[in-house]
Amino acid sequence: MKQLLYLLPFLILATACDGRRDIRDYYFPARELVNTDGKVYVYENTGTMAGPDSICWYYLGVDLDTALYLSVTRYGPDLSPQQLAREEVTNDGIRLRKLDVFGQDTAGVAIPTKMDILFDRSFPFYLEEEPDVYGYRMRGQLDPASEAITYISLERRFRGDTTVEVFGGTHDALVFDLLGEVSLRDPEEGDISPQFSGYEIYAQGIGLTEYFRDLGPAGTLGGKLRRTSLMRDFAEARLPR
């Protein structure tokens, strides 16, 4: 169940010549993170479900000959990887190309589970005049001892403009409403498909600054961006003194 929670785990805008709003500056700055050691985003845990006080995501830009990618890693409190994704930065938006979720065996060794990506239009760089849906859909066998297959889907719909207070300043931001489902298909136990809703806020020049997921009776997941740091500074701060 914990692995599932890790998965549930941006007013000045340029306008394209066809009338679409260009919002690429509201996503994480992948190009700025190329040829660096990357940046860590630290979010305060604002959800009601049990979990660490802060949640750390590491972003690294990777510029290959054929494409620009963003490597995204979520770390646990002990700095063990819990989730590893690769996003492709295309002309029209972000495509989720790869996602691995890490569990542990009885000896505490990390075991990756590769998710099959069924729909990958994760985030748009242009807002159409007619609202469109973005997000992802994936499936994977999270428990090797079971034949159950987990399907996870998330839809993003643009709600509107706002401003946020981050790092002592006011930033233009965009709000996206979320709707999703976690479907467990078990040949022995049957199927369950709980749904969730929520929102995300993306600030210009920064990326995701706040998120919220309402899981119904199970509680809520949420986070607010409190600080960012270079990966080397983040790692050094956690070395034994």
pLDDT digits (tens, 9 = 90+) for 174-197: 999 999 999 999 887 778 889 999
**Up-side HSE of residue 240: CA atoms within 13 Å toward CB?**
0
Spatial separation of the C-alpha atoms in residues 79 and 57, rounded to whole Å: 10
- β-sheet bridge partners, residue 129: none
In a domain, 90, yes or no: yes
Q: Which two tokens stand for residue 64?
A: 């290959």
Instruction: Answer whether 22's CB lies under 8 Å from 15's CB.
Output: yes
Q: Whose CA is closest to 28, among 167, 202, 229, 213?
A: 202
Summarize the confidence of residues 49-75 as an average pLDDT: 94
User: What domain range includes position 115?
Assistant: 2-236
Instruction: Report how far Cα 51 is from the mean position of its chain's Cα atoms.
Output: 17
Local structure of 54: helix, strand or coil: strand
In a domain, 114, yes or no: yes
* Overall pTM surpassing 0.95 (yes/no): no
Q: Which two tokens stand for residue 73?
A: 């890693």
pLDDT tens-digit series, residues 109-125 = 778 899 999 999 999 99
Summarize the confidence of residues 77-83 as an average pLDDT: 87
Residue 173 sits in a domain of what CATH number?
2.40.360
Q: Which two tokens stand for residue 24?
A: 């690429």
pLDDT at 18 over 70: no
Which residues, 6+ apart, have CB-to-CB distance to 200 below 8 Å? 156, 175, 176, 178, 208, 210, 211, 212
Q: What is the pLDDT of residue 10?
A: 31
Q: What is the pLDDT of residue 241?
A: 60
Spatial separation of the C-alpha atoms in residues 199 and 155, rounded to whole Å: 10
In a domain, 220, yes or no: yes
pLDDT at 157 over 90: yes
In a domain, 241, yes or no: no
* Dihedral sign from CA coordinates of 43, 48, 52, 58: negative
- Count the domains in the chain: 1
In a domain, 136, yes or no: yes
DSSP state of 67: -
Is residue 154 packed enough to be buried (19+ CB in 10 Å), middle (13-18) or exposed (0-12)? Answer: buried
pLDDT tens-digit series, residues 95-108 = 999 999 998 777 76
DSSP state of 66: S
In a domain, 208, yes or no: yes
In a domain, 231, yes or no: yes
Spatial separation of the C-alpha atoms in residues 174 and 49, rounded to whole Å: 26
- Look-up: residue for tokens 């305060």? 44
Instruction: Answer whether 220's CB lies under 8 Å from 9's CB.
Output: no
Spatial separation of the C-alpha atoms in residues 185 and 15, rounded to whole Å: 44
